[in-house]
Amino acid sequence: ELKAVREAYLEMAETDLKKPDLKAAVYKLEQAIAILPTIKVLKQLFIVYGDLEEWKPQREIKKKIREMEEAELERQQQQLLEKAVQAEVSKDYKSAMTSYEQALRVLPKRGIFLRMVSLCEKNNKEEMVPRLTSWFNQLEEDYQRQELEPLIKEEMALADEPSPEPEKVRRKKRKRRKAKPVE
């Protein structure tokens, strides 16, 4: 029943967006999210808040989106880790290494890397460890760069914009110019 109610809210929100009655759409999207939050609906709400120029709720929605995306990545990684452990138990080391590698590509974590190294050592493949280490370090560096890139772009965009002068300062400047005698 909740699913039907959620779908009804989403349909009504879609209708409001076509009108465009953005405030009504926001209310209905928030109701749908209260029932079952999804990244797709949160992104839609993020866009609507941007259109309404409501920045604080937009930042909160962005934070929720990021949290949900991270949770999804964690879930994917956990599935890959379970697959790797099962392969390791059944002594299919090649499949286990592949699953560990895929898990690290989702989210590079040292603990998983150490499991991978320990698997290499168990199988007398110590010669692979230096290559794996450099690969993991590069993977970790790329991930950190990817995480920082949006923040750097945002800071650069803010730095390029001249800081707006307060209205009071502009008025004072105009008064000073008018007060000077003209020769």
Report the pLDDT value the prediction gives residue 161, as an integer from 0 to 100. Answer: 46
CA 58 to CA 143: how far, in whole Å? 25
pLDDT reading at 179 higher than 50: no
Backbone angles phi, psi at 94, to 5 degrees: -65, -45
Report the pLDDT value the prediction gives residue 183, as an integer from 0 to 100. Answer: 46
| pTM confidence score | 0.65
Tell me how far CA of residue 117 lies from CA of 78, 98, 103, 131, in angstroms.
18, 13, 14, 11
161 sits in the region (left: phi over 0; alpha: psi -120 to 50; else beta) called beta
Per-residue pLDDT of 95-110, as tens digits, reads: 999 999 999 999 899 9
pLDDT reading at 79 higher than 70: yes
